[in-house]
Amino acid sequence: METKHIHISDYNYDLPDSRIAKFPVSPRDTSKLLVYRHGEISDDIFYNLPKYLPQKSLMVFNNTKVIQARMHFRKETGALIEVFLMEPAAPTDYELMFQTRGECSWLCMVGNLKKWKEGSLVRNFDVAGSTINFKATMRRDIIDAKSGGTNYWVDFAWDNPLVSFAEILDAVGELPIPPYLNRETQDSDKTTYQTVYSKIKGSVAAPTAGLHFTDKVLAAIDAAGVRREELTLHVGAGTLKPVKSEEIDGHTMHTEYVCVRRDTLQTLLDYDCCAIAVGTTSVRTLESLYYMGVKLEANPDAAEEDLHVCQWEPYEKADGTPVDGNLIDGITPQKAISNIIAWLDKNNLKTLHSSTQIIIAPGYEYKIVKVLVTNFHQPQSTLLLLVSAFLKGDWRNVYDYALSHDFRFLSYGDSSILIP
């Protein structure tokens, strides 16, 4: 079946609420680990993960950090409005955004939108001993088309030029834990819903496969002779968005922003473009790199924005000609990554900044990722499609085993290592 016409109902399973982990285990590396090796399934404890990693391999982590992206405003009428930060609008650079002082703009989802018909939303609060007047004003004439028309442009302004937007979020923002946890955010989430290696602020959802790692496990990985590298993909809320269309052709992937250092690309090349991916976000980044390199094969002078990977790019060319999900025009992953390195050098850049909407589903042939460490995902989700593509359709055996062996599911749930 053509990938676009996959029926999402074929990727359903019964997930009782009692199997959804509301809180993580402690310590975090004592979660269960499902081990899938060439069709054989067993279980272990996560802190034993290093012994299952292929020797002299490369393991890639997403070092994004979840921001306190939810803000609440109370109107004079009493109506509560939620403003959920989705993507920087002005400035568009994440690092610059958190350093801005006095004003900035974001594309946002707005909860209780019908109650915010006009005017600005205002909050007053203290930061470092001084009172801040903080204002949010919606630009109703701008709706972000990339998000399917659900993101609105919101201008933020505050009256103390010494206070950064990062400090504003620390003061009034709330960590956006997934809605399926069905509970309020707690102070403990500020620690437990971040990976121990998180560094770069920007995500509105955690790369949850990484939540199990501790400094001790990372040290054991190093001792096992496995090379660790980091990249950044800022996880959008779309990663939690269920597929509502009957066929996946009707589902729109949100754009996610990626950042990969030249040194990491060179390391990837040194390891023959074979990697262990920690989490589906690392998968989407690594596999998107291939298609960026393919674009550069055709156009070595491409601008940065031209490297964006569209949702259906792995399955069809720009003219609609089908692609079988495998190599495009015989371009190898090694050649694709070499193209990116050459492009960075030509433009005197040390880091690739780009974006992707890639959807990985059955019919896709993985180019770079050879082993996957991941949690257990929601029924009828794009993440489950990604896992199914990786296991050549054998996902149901994995999930049946997990359900019958008391594994905990979703963001705070248990882990798996998948070796096809």
DSSP 345-395: HHTT-SEEEEEE-----TT---SSEEEEEEEPPPTT-HHHHHHHHHTTTTH
Q: How many structural domains comprise the chain?
A: 2
Question: Do 357 and 410 share a domain, yes or no?
Answer: yes
Domain-embedded: residue 79: yes
Chain centroid to CA 346: how far? 29
Mind listing the pLDDT tens digit for each residue in 320-346? 788 866 888 899 999 999 999 999 999
Domain-embedded: residue 178: no
**Type of residue found at 254:** H
* Cβ atoms within 10 Å of 152's Cβ, excluding its own: 22
pLDDT for 179: 84
Given 173, 202, 224, the domain boundary residue is 173
Ranges in the chain, pLDDT < 70: 1, 143-149, 324-325
Question: For residue 94, what are the CA distances in angstroms to 74, 144, 195, 335, 408?
Answer: 27, 18, 19, 30, 33
Question: Do 301 and 159 share a domain, yes or no?
Answer: no
Q: What distance in Å separates the CA atoms of residue 69 and residue 86, rounded to the nearest whole number?
A: 8
Q: Classify burial at 107, counting beta carbons within 10 Å of its beta carbon; exposed 0-12, middle 13-18, buried 19 or more.
A: buried
pLDDT for 319: 79
Question: Do 221 and 276 share a domain, yes or no?
Answer: yes
Q: What distance in Å separates the CA atoms of residue 53 and residue 139, rounded to the nearest whole number?
A: 50
Domain-embedded: residue 224: yes
pLDDT for 1: 61
pTM: 0.93
**What is the residue whose two structure tokens read 């989802």?**
109
Question: Do 259 and 390 share a domain, yes or no?
Answer: yes
Which residues form the domain of 110? 70-173
> Is 323 strand, coil or helix?
coil
Question: Do 20 and 161 share a domain, yes or no?
Answer: no
Helix count and strand count (H, E) for the chain: 9, 17
Q: What distance in Å separates the CA atoms of residue 380 and residue 214, rounded to the nearest whole number?
A: 31
Question: Do 134 and 249 share a domain, yes or no?
Answer: no
Domain-embedded: residue 182: no
Name the residue among 70, 412, 382 with its Cα closest to residue 240: 382
Q: What distance in Å separates the CA atoms of residue 264 and residue 266, rounded to the nearest whole number?
A: 5
pLDDT for 323: 81
What's phi and psi for 15, nearest 5 deg?
-115, 95
Question: Do 74 and 40 share a domain, yes or no?
Answer: no
Question: Do 246 and 334 share a domain, yes or no?
Answer: yes
Angle CA(382)–CA(333)–CA(328) in degrees, nearest 5?
A: 75
